Structure 1
C-alpha cells in the first residue's frame, strides 16, 4: 500500500507557482516601465512603475504601485496601493488606495498582474467619477475640468516627474 505524501516546506504552493509564472511572463513594456519583487526572497511583495498616459494630466509622470499578494492569490486579488501621490478621484490621496473594478467586483482568478497594471493605467487615462474615493476631486473632474487638469498636472510635476 502506498504511503500518502505530505508537502514539505520546499514544495511551492499554488499561489507561489502562479506568482513565479506571472513574474516570468510579466510584460515590461509601456505602459508598465518596470515591475518586480521588492525582495528577491519574497514573492508576495511587488512594485511596478506605470507611465502616465499621453494626452492626460499624468503624461510625463511615472507612478509607483505596490502589489501585496496573500496565500489566497489568485483566488483573491492582491492589495494594490499607489505609492506615488496622485491627484485622481479614484485614488485615495493619503492612503494610495485604488478603486478599480478588476480588484474588487470583477476579480477572477485568471486575472493577471499585467491586466491589473493595465487597468490602473486605463484609470489614469479615464477616471470613473461615479466610483470616487475622493468625492471632491470627482466633483471637480465632472464640473471644473480646467481646475482638475491644472491640479493633476501640478501633482504629476511635483510627485511623479520622470528623472531627466
Structure 2
C-alpha cells in the first residue's frame, strides 16, 4: 500500500479494498480504519443522506464524543466496531441491505462505554468496502467527504 487515507467516497472504498487486500497478503491479524477527528466537527453541518433534513434536525446527534472517533476493524471475515444503542439500531438497518453480513456477537462491557459488535463479513473486498463505507456514513452519521485513515495493518 502506498497511501493510508482518503476522503472522497470512491477513493475511500478503493482504500478499504487496498487495505483488506494488503491485510490478507501480509497475514496480519486485522486492519483498523479510523475516522479523522476533523469529520466529527462537521458531521452536524451536513445534510442527511436522503437530503431531507440536516443532521442537527434529525433525532440523532453527531458521533458520540465519549466513544471517540469512529473506527472499524476487519480481520478473518469479521468486522469489529463500537457503537451506542442508537447507532446499533442504525447498524442493523444498514446490514439489512447487505445480506452476506450478519451480527455474530454484541457485547456490552461493564468497564467501557458503548457496545462492541462483531459482524460476519463473508464477501469479496469490494462488497466489504461498500458495507464499511455505509456503516461509517449512516451509522456514525458522517458527511459524504469525511477522511478515513488506515491506522493499523
Q: The TM-score by the shorter chain falls in which range?
A: under 0.3
**Higher relative strand content:** 2
Identify which of structures 1 and 2 has the higher relative contact order when contacts are C-alpha pairs closer than 8 Å and 6+ apart.
2
Q: Which has the larger radius of gyration?
A: 1
TM-score, length-scaled by structure 1: 0.26
